[in-house]
Amino acid sequence: MRVIIILIFSFISVFPQVNVQETQVADGVVHKKIINTNDTLVINILKIDIKKPDISILAVKANELLNTKETTSQMVKRYKISGYDVIAAVNADFFESDGEVVSNMISNGQIVKAVKFSDSPFNPFTNSQIASDADDNLYIEQFVFSGNLILPNGNVEEISRINSKSDSNSITLYNHFQGKITPPSSREWYVVDFVLFPLLSIGDTLKFVAAAKTTLRNFEIPKEGIILSSNNKYAHYLEREIKIGDTLRIVYNFSPKIKNIKSLTGGWPVLVKDGMNMIRRNTSIEGVTDKFSEQRHPRSGIGYSADKRTLFLITVDGRQPMSKGMTLIEFTDLMINEGVFNGLNLDGGGSTTMVINDKVVNSPSDATGERLVGNCLMVIRK
């Protein structure tokens, strides 16, 4: 009898109890749900044929504002009300307590946030990000922003960032994603802001006309224009060089250079590169900590196949009796087994959320339910 019992347990361990369900959500979009009761895991995988002409991916900021939060399903609902045909969505970048995303972000071709370095306390360089261009080609890179202001006299000055709080002795741009007014700056700084309205766009160069100048703090940001904010030595310099009515040129660049970026959002860290498990090669990649990497947590991730035709959105539930979560190595192995050739970790934990056809299909781990997050990635029909 004792031998039979041992054989039974051996049989169970060799053949784990795994239930796999696949559902076609839309033409070119398949939802795969894996319930593994042996390993105590619940996994949701959305496979998207991103090369279908009617399907695209869109990075969406909570409330279309840098410093606010929404749930992923709230963002989906808001976009559907405004006329978008949203198939699915997943939470995206890590974010600050006020909702500001950690890394660069572009939504529908408009810059939400652009910085040279991510605001991550763990990574001295910049976190990896995922981008898609106008043709829905996909890229995972450590994108770095650079910008230039070209004055009427031909002088070129560096733009340090777009939206987000400025540094001393710098030039910063603010658009409608920042909110109604420019953010506060140090009272000791001398600040001069210029109101710019767009004239035309030629490639990556934008032409603006200087319509107004102010030294007031918390100045109103025009809906159809931008604020060029300068402080200290740059404020004194630009106050002399820029006259109302002048035409200014501004050049935005991201390195590596990708033309016509439509959507861009961050994650942390890169998990799969050219089919290789990057966590196995370097357990502290991009400043990842042991606690974050080696403990089992809910996970969210995004990736694409070797031919860049299939986009994968993946969530793993965790911190719950029915699903314990995954380590980063396990999550990366899952990605590779499913066909991901290049993959990126997104914000996980209580943020992990996948919405398909208006329904949250995973089980967010927070006791209060779906968490307010900084942004999300949507799969839409054009």
Sequence-ordered list of residues with C-beta below 8 angstroms from that of 109, at least 6 positions apart, any chain: 260, 261, 262
Q: Do residues 354 and 44 make contact, with C-beta atoms less than 8 angstroms apart?
A: yes
- Beta partners for residue 181, in sequence order: 220
Half-sphere exposure in the Cβ direction for 136 (13 Å, CA): 22
Residue 192 domain flag: yes
What rounded mean pLDDT belongs to the chain?
A: 94
The domain that contains 179 carries what CATH number? 2.60.120
Query: Quick one: CA torsion of 119, 125, 127, 128, rounded to 10 degrees?
Result: 150
The number of distinct structural domains making up the chain is 2
Whether residues 98 and 115 share a domain: the answer is yes
Among candidate residues 275, 209, 195, the one with its CA nearest the CA of residue 245: 209
Token pair 């202001």 is found at: 149
- Give the pLDDT mean for 295-306: 98
The tens digit of pLDDT for each residue in 138-170 reads 999 999 999 999 999 999 999 999 998 889 999
Whether the predicted pLDDT of 213 surpasses 80: yes
The tens digit of pLDDT for each residue in 215-269 reads 987 889 998 999 999 999 999 999 999 999 999 999 999 999 999 999 999 999 9
- Beta partners for residue 214, in sequence order: 193
Q: Do residues 229 and 191 make contact, with C-beta atoms less than 8 angstroms apart?
A: yes
**What domain range includes position 173?**
145-255
Whether the predicted pLDDT of 11 surpasses 50: no
User: Global pTM?
Assistant: 0.94
Per-residue DSSP letter, 339: T
Residue 4 domain flag: no
Domain boundary among 255, 279, 301: 255
Pairing mode, if any, of strands 161-162 and 171-174?
Answer: parallel
Q: Do residues 367 and 373 make contact, with C-beta atoms less than 8 angstroms apart?
A: no
pLDDT for 16 equals 58
Residue 52 domain flag: yes
Band (pLDDT 50/70/90 cuts) for residue 14 is very low
pLDDT for 52 equals 97
Sequence-ordered list of residues with C-beta below 8 angstroms from that of 150, at least 6 positions apart, any chain: 156, 248, 249, 250, 251
Residue 3 domain flag: no
Whether the predicted pLDDT of 24 surpasses 60: yes
Whether residues 92 and 209 share a domain: the answer is no
Whether residues 228 and 81 share a domain: the answer is no
Per-residue DSSP letter, 376: E
pLDDT for 185 equals 85
Q: Do residues 345 and 328 make contact, with C-beta atoms less than 8 angstroms apart?
A: yes
Whether residues 291 and 372 share a domain: the answer is yes
Question: Dihedrals φ, ψ of 148, to 5°?
Answer: -135, 140
Residue 89 domain flag: yes
Whether residues 53 and 137 share a domain: the answer is yes
- Residue type at 190? Y
Element at 271 (helix H, strand E): strand 270-273
CB-based burial, 249-288: b 16+ in 10 Å, e otherwise: bbebebeeebeebbbbbbbbbbbbbeeebbbeeeeebbbb
Domain boundary among 199, 220, 255: 255
Whether residues 130 and 199 share a domain: the answer is no
- Give the pLDDT mean for 301-307: 98
Whether the predicted pLDDT of 5 surpasses 80: no
Q: Do residues 17 and 37 make contact, with C-beta atoms less than 8 angstroms apart?
A: yes
Token pair 């974010």 is found at: 95
Residue 69 domain flag: yes
Question: Dihedrals φ, ψ of 295, to 5°?
Answer: -85, 155
Q: Is the peptide bond before 183 cis (omega within 30 degrees of 0)?
A: no
Q: Do residues 145 and 161 make contact, with C-beta atoms less than 8 angstroms apart?
A: yes
Token pair 């224009």 is found at: 225
Whether residues 58 and 155 share a domain: the answer is no
Whether residues 121 and 206 share a domain: the answer is no
The Cα–Cα gap between 236 and 242 comes to: 11
Whether residues 96 and 223 share a domain: the answer is no
Whether residues 127 and 78 share a domain: the answer is yes
Sequence-ordered list of residues with C-beta below 8 angstroms from that of 361, at least 6 positions apart, any chain: 31, 33, 44, 354, 355
Instruction: Give the rounded distance of the alpha carbon of 232 from its chain centre.
Output: 32
Cα-only R_g, the chain:
23
Among candidate residues 283, 368, 367, the one with its CA nearest the CA of residue 328: 283
Domain boundary among 230, 255, 280: 255
Residue 31 domain flag: yes
Whether residues 265 and 209 share a domain: the answer is no
Whether residues 248 and 273 share a domain: the answer is no
The Cα–Cα gap between 287 and 290 comes to: 10
Pairing mode, if any, of strands 359-360 and 299-304?
Answer: unpaired
Residue 176 domain flag: yes
